[in-house]
Chain A
Amino acid sequence: MDWFSRSKLTRRGFMKGAAAAVALPKMFFLSSPFRPSVAYAAGEADLVIAQQGTPTQLLQAAMAPLGGMGRFVKKGQRVVIKANIAWARTPEQAATNNPELLSALIKMCYQAGAKRVAVWDHTCDNYQFCFSRSGLKKVTQDAGGDIYSGHGRNVYKKVEIPKGKKLKEAEFIQDVLETDVYITFPLPKQHFATELTLGLKNAMGTTWDMELLHKIDLHQCIADINTVRKPDLVVVDAIRILTTNGPKGPGKTEDIGEVCATTDMVAVDAYCASYFKHPKTGKPFRPADIRFIKNAYDLGLGEMNLSKVRMKKVKAA
């Protein structure tokens, strides 16, 4: 037990080290007190839908009318992408994001000058299986990004939701709350409980207790959590969507071949709802059929009425 006395670690040395450990990160924060400006240069459209092309082409085509990635990502900024890697499924099964598109998105952020890009998701299946089976870990790391899973509670921060109607506080991934640029990267899927899972629902993967939201009131909670950190950019991966057995699959898939980019998360959900047919009527879903879209609209998160949105469809190739 005399190891302690023989080691070089003195009390004074320890205190110095501890003080430095506390002070140093504080100093880093002080050095950059200026948050990036929120006044972006407006693009020529608010919702761009790119069709026909490879994933990379689609993304570039979708971003251009919005003003390019440079409108959102400034030099030296940290970017967080909330991807959909919730399930241990292969890319073809369309329960997780398209790897090529994620890779293109990360590279585009770096081209715009991002300091570091992090991909986050609080997975439902075991994160290791999700990351490896979906192939998204590899493409993220190859593209120079970091991939993180929200399985450890230490990465969360409890915040109040002042605008929330039913959910008053929740634990969110701290990186999502504090990052310079937050991009949500959903893919549309059929979902038995909420009819569809779209961009707004993607935000569930930034919270710690997802099951709790089901318990309170799923539709309202989805709208409530989206009031906390609004995404700066929404990129919807509708290259292949899951139309049955969602959200986990495997089920029937449909190749839509579209990528949507927007700043209005309600509008894009309203648009993407029409990919799917209502099981009872057989007609495409109307935005108001999905209660969480309606609830988000009521909270003023965006425009549900597509006729009021500046929409633009472009061909990628």
Chain B
Amino acid sequence: MTEKLQWARRTVQAVSFFFLLYLIIQAAFPLEVRIPVDLYLRLDPFIAIVAFLTQGEIIIRMLPALGVLLLVVIFGNFFCGWFCPMGATFDFFDRVLFREKKRSKPFDDQPLRRFRYGVFIFAVAAGLLGLQVLYLLDPISLITRTLVIAFYPPAVYIYNHLLPEIQRLLPGNPFILPATKLPIFKVNLLIFLFFAGVLALGVIRRRFWCRYLCPLGTLFSLTSRLRVVRRSVSEACVQCLKCAKECSVGAIPAETPREYRQQDCISCFKCLDCPPEATAFGFHFPRWKGAEAVSLSRRYVVGSLAFGVFSALAIKTNPLQTESGLKNNRLIRPPGALPEKNFVSVCTGCGECLKVCPNNALQSTFLEAGLAGLYTPRLVPRIGYCEEHCNFCGRVCPTEAIRPLSVEEKQKVQMGVAKIDKTRCIAYEEGKVCLVCNEQCSYHAIVGDDKKRPIVKEEICTGCGICENKCPVDGESAIIVYTSGIQKKVKPQQETKA
């Protein structure tokens, strides 16, 4: 019975992970899936609460997350053990690659368990002041970001290199498989190393991340103490401590195995594998008290709080983040993005928009937007431009940091304005008939003068960057999109005479 249950749990975990993978793969043209591709992020109550607080209003898309929270409050934390794709990844890698080191002495994790709350307090304090470390630690955002930025490009790379082999196996006529355009992201190595590092922590303790770091798990711990589905141990217990050893989050203390910390339990039911069959799960009346909980001293709480506040202040006063440092006039935000200050505090950096962008135009920032804007999306026209008839990024953003605009609305958003570098433009410098920018411009914002040299009509330029992208000048383009940092609406277009 318990074996079957564990088998069922692993199946659910695998299905959950592959479903996330499926949704991420589906986050692409034509984006016609019925289920929102950012479903998992929308179900994440931690992101929901922080986004509500920082945005100062309820985001409709994130409301399902409150349903998840409600279920957790009533029935206990079933999310981490069964549905969390990050948890599934940990369980997998803890088994196959990063096995827990064997110890002779019991592992006293009291300080580490306290650390988890410290991280949580730190993250919330910093988050409310505008430094979004929380999003970097949120497991759903983390796994989505890692899959998109670190694993999606290598997958395409391998596919493209296998293409000749696949092609060879197919009859030469009529099947032709054009290579997929290789997506590129600057921060991929960084994100991969972070992910690998987090997984490697499993050698210290199974599910190290879930026990000691995960802010979503901490939120569930804080809210699921009064759960009604609870473990109970009968008199038959022989203190074999198998359950304490098996528990993947250390919710069962070795000293008193008949007790447990119900708030830490992730409902994996591994403890049901009890030799004297003394353990059972069932519905019970809510109870506040459990086994000795973590003792958070006032000093610890205040310390964490102060540390979070100071970190946020340090970053706010850092030249990267202060106004002078942020005057990066090439930091073009996706169409429909919230004003910069709100944007960095609401964007979770999940990478859904990077994945869905058909031209690989959206890139993850490193420090260009300051430390608070780490891993937020920006438009890099030289890599890709904003497609005229596409509004996908707004449609997949779980927190509406990129507002969901209709295609028509999006076409009127001015992200920036293109400017021609006349010293490098081959039409001005070498007198060539080029006008690639004029030909490519979707909005007739680039016209030619009588000598066939391009001129930008700034009032109708949307800053989509197709001109910068296609400019044949080597290296840096001769026409560059600059942004004022504020997205405007372009003036209604007048019929242009040719």
Contact = CB atoms under 8 A, between A and B. Distances in A.
Contacts of A132: 30
A219 interface: yes
A173 to B, nearest CB: 9
A148 B181 contact: no
A192 B427 CA distance: 13
Contacts of A22: 168
A170 to B, nearest CB: 14
B448 interface: yes
B448 A211 contact: no
Contact of A211 (B165, B178, B179, B436): B436
Interface string B295-308: 00000000000000
A156 B257 CA distance: 68
B163 interface: yes
Interface string A90-131: 000000000000000000000000011010000011101100
Contact of A251 (B180, B471, B498): B498
B113 interface: no
Interface stretch (A228-236, A240-248, A265-273, A301-309): A240-248
Nearest to A122: B178
A52 to B, nearest CB: 28
A124 B174 contact: no
Contact of A192 (B432, B435, B472, B497): B435
A248 B440 contact: yes
Given A25-B168, A212-B472, A217-B432, A118 B174 contact: yes
A78 to B, nearest CB: 6
A28 interface: yes
A214 B435 contact: yes
Interface in B413-463: 426, 432-436, 438-442, 444, 448, 452
Contacts of B444: 245
A194 interface: yes
A289 B477 CA distance: 31
A281 interface: no
B388 interface: yes
Contacts of A192: 435, 438-439, 448, 452, 498
Contacts of B181: 151-152
Nearest to A216: B432
A211 B176 contact: no
Interface in B469-498: 470-473, 496-498
Interface size class of chain A, counting residues whose CB lies under 8 Å from the partner chain: 35 or more
Interface size class of chain B, counting residues whose CB lies under 8 Å from the partner chain: 35 or more
B188 interface: no
A218 B176 contact: no
Nearest to A244: B498
A46 interface: no
A190 interface: yes
Interface string B171-185: 111101111110000
Residue in A116, A150, A193, A211 with the greatest tally of chain B CB atoms within 10 Å: A193
Contacts of B432: 214-215, 217-218
Interface string B260-288: 00000000000000000000000000000
A28 B172 contact: yes
Contact of B176 (A25, A118, A215, A252): A118
Interface string B83-123: 00000000000000000000000000000000000000000
A129 B386 CA distance: 12
Nearest to A118: B174
B173 A78 contact: yes
B76 interface: no
Given A148-B178, A218-B434, A128 B30 contact: yes
A138 interface: no
Contacts of B358: 126, 128-129
Nearest to A219: B433
A192 B497 CA distance: 12
Interface string B359-392: 1000000000000000000000000000111100
B160 interface: yes
A211 B472 contact: yes
A171 interface: no
Contacts of A239: none
B290 interface: no
A194 B433 contact: yes
Contacts of B319: none
A25 B172 contact: yes
Contacts of A125: 387-388, 442
B452 A193 contact: yes
Contacts of A124: 439-440, 470
A149 B176 CA distance: 10
A117 to B, nearest CB: 9
7 contacts: A125-B388, A150-B178, A152-B180, A175-B176, A192-B448, A192-B452, A252-B498
Interface of A: 21-22, 24-25, 28-29, 78, 88, 115-116, 118, 124-126, 128-129, 132-133, 146, 148-155, 175, 190-194, 211-212, 214-215, 217-219, 243-245, 247-248, 251-252, 279
Given A148-B176, A214-B433, 13 more contacts: A115-B174, A116-B173, A118-B176, A146-B174, A152-B181, A154-B160, A154-B179, A212-B472, A214-B434, A214-B436, A217-B433, A244-B497, A248-B441
